[in-house]
Structures are given as structure tokens and as C-alpha cells.
Amino acid sequence: MDKMILVGVDGTSACHAAIRWAVLRAATLGSCVVLVHVVDDEWGMIGEQSISELHPSAYALVEKEAVYARSIDSAVTVSTRVLLGDPMVELGVASREVGLVVIGTHKTGFLHGRAFGSRSLQLAATAWCPVAVIPEGSTTERHGIVAGIDDSAAGRAAVRFAATEAHRVHEELVLLRAWTSSVHGSEAEDGAAEQRARDALETLGSESVALAHSAGGGVLVRTRTLRRPAAEALVDAGMSAELLVIGSSRRHGAQMAALGPVSHDVLLNIAGPTLVVHGDTEGHPEAELAGRTK
């Protein structure tokens, strides 16, 4: 199951971007690809007769996308599934059976387009495996793997995931630290607080580099520290990166379907292939890429 890559398909050009990305990845990992189309029945309003009418077109859709997937690399095993229900919920349930879920999006940057039914945020928050969101038109020349870092379990999973990926594709790994100052005391108090923040960032950077080297072998690691909001820094970095990895701590109860504010903002303003991994997937074989969200 860990070698299965599930791709959510809906017949749009955005899903073609996701299929292409997934097939190319599967070819290098020796994985198989499962194309899944969900007939939307969020409220249970589709009756038996309607289902029988909708399913033939649904099966035709996934078979058409399978032909496209096989045209990218005929050596990759491609299978199809049709499910019924709320698309993000069903993909979330199916994520238990695979190593990675991939979806496409028409979103291409700040305030332009819209996310894959923006419910992709729900999928990224609730999936049991990493989720890759691939923007349409993201096949331009890209280089480097970028991961945000922090001191959370998700941040540590980020470094491991990203280091393994950078090693696999022979790319540089950039560990991104972003911070802002919110202290408003006396000049002395502000100065002391800022120095503590800088010291903490320095320690975090050193620990993250060591972790990356242990996970990625001889991968080239570079750190960047930016004094700006984390989401903005990550989105900008993702504009040219081969892959941007963001981590999200698993939430529970009423907040289970919600991402942290940083990962939420990054996905709403996605600028390149972006992967979300949870801190509790640290030991998962597909846990190769992750980043910063709190």
C-alpha cells in the first residue's frame, strides 16, 4: 500500500497536472497509480436510478484519464476506481490505503483562480498520508526542494521528508525559517526578546541541518532566514521550487478538518507543487517531504 499513489480526477485540465506529476513520481519510485473519481453525493440525494445513470459516465471519465496516464509512462501500472459521496471525504477515507494522495488545482498564485473545490484544504487536514497539491501549468523549469522548519513534530517530519526527496532527485535542499517580531515593550526589552528569537532560530537551523544530513545522506543543505510572515515566504519560495513541503500538526475534535493558519494560507495561494505531511507520519515510508505550519 505504501507504494500506491492515489490521484483524485475530475476530468479537468488541473487533474491532468496531478496525473502527470504522480505518474512521473511513480516511475522513479516503482509505485503504482490509482485514479479515483468521486461522484458527488454529499447530501445523499442521488437515488438508485440517478446513480446508474451517472456511473457509466464516471467510469468512462476514469478510463479516459487512465489512457492519458499510461501515455506518460507505459511502464507504470495504472488502475481506476469510482466512488460515491463527498469527494474530499471519500478521498480522505481512501488515503488510509495508499502512501500518497495527489490532487490538481487551478490555483496559480495570490488572489487568482480557485483551489480544487477549496475543500482540498479539508483533505490536506484529514488525510492519513501526505497530500500533494499540483497547480495547473506547474511544469515550468523548477529546481530545489524547499521545506519550512519549526520545532514541532510536523517540522521534524518536514525535514526528514524533504531531505529524502532531495537525495532522491539529486537537488539542493533549502530549509526555510521565517519569523516576525510582535514585542512592544521598552527598547531594552524588545532588544532582548529579539536576541532570544535569533538564538532560537540559530539553534533550530543547526538541529534541522543535522537531521537533514542524517535522513538524506550527502544531500546539499542550505538554510534561509527571512523576517516576514511564514506563509508569504513559503509561497514565494514555492514559485520556483521543484517541490515545496509544508507540515501540519494533526488536529482533533472540532478542529480536525482544519489546517494550521500557515499551511492554510500557503494552499490558498499555492504557486507550485506543494506537499502537506503530518507530524504523526514521521515513521511512514512515504514521509519524505514536510514543512512549517503551526
Identical topology for domains 1-111 and 140-294: yes
Bridge partners (DSSP) of residue 148 are 176
Mention every residue, 6+ apart, whose C-beta is less than 8 A from residue 115. 105, 106, 107, 121, 133, 267, 268, 270
The pLDDT profile of the chain, 294 residues, written as one tens digit per residue, is 568 999 999 988 889 999 999 999 999 999 999 999 998 775 555 665 565 666 788 889 999 999 999 999 999 999 999 988 888 889 999 999 999 999 998 765 544 333 344 667 888 888 999 999 998 876 568 899 999 988 888 888 988 999 999 999 999 999 998 887 665 666 666 677 777 777 788 888 889 899 999 998 889 999 998 888 999 999 999 999 999 999 987 655 445 567 888 888 898 888 899 999 988 644 343 433 333 333
Q: Which residue has the cell 539542493?
A: 172
Closest CA to 235 of 259, 270, 264: 270
Q: Using the 8-state DSSP alphabet, how is residue 142 labeled? A: -
Q: Which residue has the cell 521598552?
A: 186
Packed helices 48-72 and 13-29: angle between N→C axes, nearest 10 degrees: 50
Whether 20 and 27 have beta carbons less than 8 Å apart is answered as no
pLDDT digits (tens, 9 = 90+) for 210-219: 999 999 888 9
Question: Cα(159)–Cα(237) distance, rounded to whole angstroms?
Answer: 16
Find out if CATH 3.40.50.970 is the number for domain 1-111.
no
Full-model pTM: 0.83
Question: Cα(276)–Cα(248) distance, rounded to whole angstroms?
Answer: 7
Whether 144 and 242 have beta carbons less than 8 Å apart is answered as yes
pLDDT score, position 187: 65
Give the number of other CB atoms < 10 A from CB of residue 5.
Answer: 25
Nearest 5°: phi and psi at 20? Answer: -60, -45
pLDDT digits (tens, 9 = 90+) for 81-138: 998 888 888 999 999 999 999 999 876 554 433 334 466 788 888 899 999 999 887 6
State how beta strands 243-248 and 221-226 pair. Answer: unpaired
pLDDT score, position 172: 95
Q: Which residue has the cell 501526505?
A: 130
Residue 285, classed as helix, strand or coil, is: coil
Note the CATH number of domain 140-294.
3.40.50.12370
Residue 230: half-sphere exposure toward Cβ, Cα within 13 Å: 25
Mention every residue, 6+ apart, whose C-beta is less than 8 A from residue 196. none
Mention every residue, 6+ apart, whose C-beta is less than 8 A from residue 50. none
228-264 core/surface letters (b: 16 or more CB in 10 A; e: else)? eebbbbbbbbbeebbbbbbbbbeeeeeeebebbebbb
- E runs forming strands in the chain: 4-8, 32-40, 78-85, 100-105, 131-135, 145-148, 173-178, 221-226, 243-248, 274-278
Domain boundaries, the chain: 1-111, 140-294
Residue 244: half-sphere exposure toward Cβ, Cα within 13 Å: 29
